[in-house]
Amino acid sequence: MPPPPRPFTLACRNCAWQQTMLPCSDLLKLNQDWFLECPQCRQPQLERRAASRRDILRARLDQFLKLDH
Ligand SMILES: [Zn+2]
């Protein structure tokens, strides 16, 4: 069984946009789990880095708050 994908953060070099991805599977959905360009300024060069623990915590909190219960 392959190891699960590691969480990572995509950040725009042009504006302040950034998003931490918490992949649950190998299948990443474009514009949900993966971005080819910045959704704010359309700048195509996104910086990908390993998510810090703080980034992961924040992303998990965001996911939790988005759940419709
Ligand atoms: Zn941007």
Query: In one letter, which amino acid is 45?
Result: Q
All structural domains of the chain with their residue ranges: 8-23+31-66
Q: For residue range 11-67, list pLDDT tens digits in order.
A: 999 999 999 988 765 556 666 667 889 999 999 989 999 999 999 999 989 888 887
* 5, 36 Cβ separation under 8 angstroms: no
Give pLDDT, residue 27: 59
Give pLDDT, residue 33: 63
Report pTM: 0.71
Give pLDDT, residue 52: 94
Give pLDDT, residue 28: 61
- Ligand 1 mean position, distance from CA 36 (Å): 11
- Ligand 1 mean position, distance from CA 15 (Å): 4
* 35, 43 Cβ separation under 8 angstroms: no
- Ligand 1 mean position, distance from CA 10 (Å): 11
